[in-house]
Amino acid sequence: MESPLFDNWWGHWGVFTAACIFGALTLLLVFLWFDRRYWARFQIRVGPNRYGPGGFFQVLADGMKMALKEDIIPDRADKVLHGIAPILVMFPVVALFAIIPYANARAGLVPDLNIGLIYIVAISSVVGIGLLTAGWASSNKYSLLGGMRAIATIVSYEFPVVLALIGVGLMAGTLSVNGIVEAQEQNGWFIFMQPLGFLIFFIGMMAEISRSPFDFAECESELGCGVNTEYSGLRFGIFQMVEFMEGIFMAFLVATLFLGGYSFPGSLGTLPEGAGGTILGIGFLMLKVFIVYLVLGWIKCTMPGRLRIDQWMGFAWKGLLPLAVLNIFIIALEVVAFGGGADFPAWAMLINIPACVLLILLWSRLWNTGGGRVDVRAIR
């Protein structure tokens, strides 16, 4: 007997929305605790260790402290936009988790959306609007500069990221995220099938979510805290929460699009039916997500510093974008020659891996990041 809750569209929407929000917040708590312990090991210190097992409750205590702090709004700020901006930033990130297939082709909160890649690009773009709104509404030049830098980053790095996603869609023969996972079950992980597309996507996503060394939108030495400068209390906590949730979603997306998602390639790709297969699929996916998140934390803790703003923008337009165009051109030729989806041959990685190394070496000699000292003269 079916529950009356699921007899209409609104019942489905309510349950799926609640599950998505609860799941994203639970993942946030776990990964935030893991992040702090992980960073502590890099910095030769203990990290949170007193409240709860392994210091897990320290995350809850910090969240409560943030929520109870005074919410201060500048006198000259646009109070309506100042309050709306954190919501514009938070809800798109939460909505992105709905597209991830967690265990099998019908386990995502949005079952087998046939335009999944378009959904990801469209929803993720809304975050930039929220950041610019926060900078504009704060009536602070440093906040506005932070918002403008965030928009500049999203616009600049969105092009190579989208081109890398198009390469994934061409190779899989579908825009469905579930279909991309199924294509990797048959042909192998796309990290080996198109390594250049993986590197472009990974670096571009790091820039879009402001992970080090691309954290110019809120760099402390120049802008104080960027768009967060005039925020306090719970609203400031929302911006911090979104920053961590974006990193978690990036790990899920990389694991799904390039590491096979919930499956293993070849003979191990097809999971058994029933609860056992579901549990195995979730376990495989979470293992890959943790590995990707470990790499993100490793980069953040070991990078010596930030790129300059001119290097940062030049790397997107003169480095990643031309390589992304070449990558999609190569993938398109291979799809025309061999066919996409299930017809795409696994041995094509023997072409694409050397092509990736060769293109990176050749292109690195054609341009540079403009290193060296910059002479700045005072304006009189």
pLDDT tens per residue, range 121-140: 988 888 888 888 888 888 88
349/335 Cα distance (integer angstroms): 13
Per-residue pLDDT for 224 more than 80? Answer: no
217/225 Cα distance (integer angstroms): 8
Residue 239 lies in a domain: yes
What is residue 380's predicted lDDT score, i.e. its pLDDT?
Answer: 54
Residue 179 lies in a domain: yes
Percent of the chain with pLDDT over 90: 13
Per-residue pLDDT for 108 more than 60? Answer: no
Per-residue pLDDT for 166 more than 90? Answer: yes
291/279 Cα distance (integer angstroms): 18
Per-residue pLDDT for 192 more than 70? Answer: yes
Contact 8, 268 (CB under 8 A): no
Give mean pLDDT, residues 14-34: 77
- Measured over the CA atoms of residue 289, residue 130, residue 124 and residue 359, the dihedral's sign is negative
Tally of domains in the chain? 1
348/194 Cα distance (integer angstroms): 9
Residue 344 lies in a domain: yes
Residue 245 lies in a domain: yes
29/55 Cα distance (integer angstroms): 12
Q: Which residue has the higher pLDDT, 377 or 282?
A: 282
Residue found by looking up tokens 């293109």 in the block: 359
| Short-list 49, 73, 51, 69, CA closest to 60 | 51
Per-residue pLDDT for 325 more than 50? Answer: yes
116-125, 164-173, 208-217, 221-230: range with lowest mean pLDDT: 221-230
Residue 58 lies in a domain: no
Per-residue pLDDT for 370 more than 60? Answer: no
What is residue 279's predicted lDDT score, i.e. its pLDDT?
Answer: 76
Per-residue pLDDT for 371 more than 60? Answer: no
The pTM of the full predicted model, rounded to 2 decimals, is 0.85
Q: Which residue has the higher pLDDT, 165 or 64?
A: 165
Q: How far is CA 37 from CA 92, 167, 181, in A?
A: 28, 36, 31
Per-residue pLDDT for 83 more than 90? Answer: no
Torsion, CA 7, CA 123, CA 28, CA 258, rounded to 10: 100
12-21, 124-133, 321-330: range with lowest mean pLDDT: 12-21
Residue 371 lies in a domain: no
Contact 291, 300 (CB under 8 A): no
Torsion, CA 341, CA 346, CA 349, CA 350, rounded to 10: -140
73/84 Cα distance (integer angstroms): 13
Q: Which residue has the higher pLDDT, 160 or 305?
A: 160
Return the axis-axis angle of helices 195-208 and 141-172, rounded to nearest 10°.
160
Residue 372 lies in a domain: no
Q: How confident is the model at residue 275 (pLDDT cuts 50, 70, 90)?
A: low
What is residue 68's predicted lDDT score, i.e. its pLDDT?
Answer: 85
What is residue 144's predicted lDDT score, i.e. its pLDDT?
Answer: 84
207/205 Cα distance (integer angstroms): 5
**What's the domain range around 273?**
69-364
- CA 80 to chain CA centroid, Å, is 28
Coil, strand or helix: which one is 174? coil
Q: What is the mean pLDDT of the chain?
A: 80
Residue 17 lies in a domain: no
Give mean pLDDT, residues 169-182: 88
202/56 Cα distance (integer angstroms): 29
